[in-house]
A and B are shown apart, each in its own frame.
Chain A
Amino acid sequence: MSITLALQLAEGAIGLSLLSALVSFFPATIRRRVAMPLFTLSGLVALAAGLVALINGGVATAQLPLGLPWLPWQVRMDVLSGFFLSIIGVVSFAVGIYAPGYVRGFEGGKDSLRVLGGFTGLFLAGMMLVVLADDAFMFMVAWELMSLSSYFLVAWHHDSAANRRAAFLYLLMAHIGGLSILLGFGVLASFGGGFTFEAMRGAPLSFGWASVAFVLAFIGFGMKAGLVPLHAWLPEAHPVAPSHISALMSGVMLKVAVYGFIRFVFDLIGTVHWQWGVAVLIVGSLSAIIGVLLALMQNDLKRLLAYSSVENLGIIFIGLGLALLFLAEGHPLIATFAFVAALYHCINHALFKGLLFLGAGAILHSANERDLEKMGGLLRRMPWTGFFFLVGSISIAALPPFNGFVSEWLSFQAALQAWQLEGGVLRSIVPIVASLLALTGALVAATFVKVYGVAFLGQARSRAVRRARRVPLSMRAGQGILAFLCLLLGVLPTFFIDLINAVPREMLGQGLSQVSAHGWLWLTPISQQTASYGAPLVAMILFVALVLGLWLVGRGARRVRLGDAWDCGYAPPTPSMQYTGTAFVQPIRRIFGLLFQISDGVETQQDGRRRYYLQVVDRAWGLLYAPIARWVEWSSRQVVRLQSGSIRTYLGWTLATLLLLLWLVV
Chain B
Amino acid sequence: MAAWGFALIQSLLYLALAPLLVGWVHKVKARLQNRRGAPIWQPYRDLYKLFAKEARMAHTASLLFRAAPYIVFVATWLAAAAIPLLSTDLPTAAMADVIVIAGLLGLARFFLALAGMDVGTAFGGMGASREMFVSALAEPAMLMAVFTLAMTAHSTNLASVVEYQLLGEPFLRPSYLFALAALVLVAIAETGRIPVDNPSTHLELTMIHEAMILEYSGRHLALMEWAAQLKLLLYAALLVNVFLPWGIAQSIRPDMLGMAFVLLVVKLALLGVALAVSETVLAKMRLFRVPAFLNLALLLALLGLMSHVILEVGS
Which A residues fall within an 8 A CB radius of B? 376-377, 379-380, 383, 390, 394, 397-400, 405, 408-409, 412-413, 416, 418-419, 422, 424, 427-428, 431-432, 434-436, 438-439, 441-443, 445-446, 448-450, 452-454, 457-459, 522, 528-534, 537-538, 541-542, 545-546, 549-550, 553-554, 558, 560-568, 573, 575, 577-580, 583-588, 590-591
Contact = CB atoms under 8 A, between A and B. Distances in A.
Given A446-B133, A449-B113, A584-B125, A457 B64 contact: yes
A438 B99 CA distance: 10
A376 B55 contact: no
Interface string B298-315: 100110011001100111
Contact of B298 (A399, A409, A435): A435
B206 interface: no
Interface in B100-118: 100, 103-104, 106-107, 109-110, 113-114, 116-118
A350 B111 CA distance: 24
B136 A579 contact: no
A542 B78 contact: yes
Contacts of B199: none
A567 to B, nearest CB: 4
Contact of A413 (B120, B128, B156, B310): B156
B58 A565 contact: yes
B58 A579 contact: no
B314 A424 contact: yes
Interface of B: 51, 54-64, 66, 70-71, 73-75, 77-78, 94-97, 99-100, 103-104, 106-107, 109-110, 113-114, 116-126, 128-130, 132-133, 135-144, 147, 150-151, 154-157, 160, 202, 204, 214-215, 218-219, 223, 287-288, 291, 298, 301-302, 305-306, 309-310, 313-315
Nearest to A448: B110
Contact of B120 (A376, A400, A412, A537): A376
B263 to A, nearest CB: 26
A428 B97 contact: no
Contacts, number: 272
Nearest to B217: A566
Given A531-B157, A542-B75, A567-B121, A409 B103 contact: yes
B56 A530 contact: no
14 contacts: A398-B103, A419-B313, A442-B140, A446-B133, A446-B135, A457-B120, A458-B119, A459-B60, A546-B70, A549-B74, A577-B121, A583-B129, A585-B129, A587-B130
Contact of B156 (A380, A453, A531, A538): A531
Main SS of chain B's interface residues? helix
A645 B14 CA distance: 87
A585 B133 CA distance: 8
Given A424-B309, A531-B157, A563-B56, A449 B114 contact: yes
A60 B303 CA distance: 52
A452 B125 CA distance: 12
Given A379-B62, A435-B302, A578-B120, 4 more contacts: A448-B110, A532-B95, A553-B70, A580-B125
A449 B136 CA distance: 12
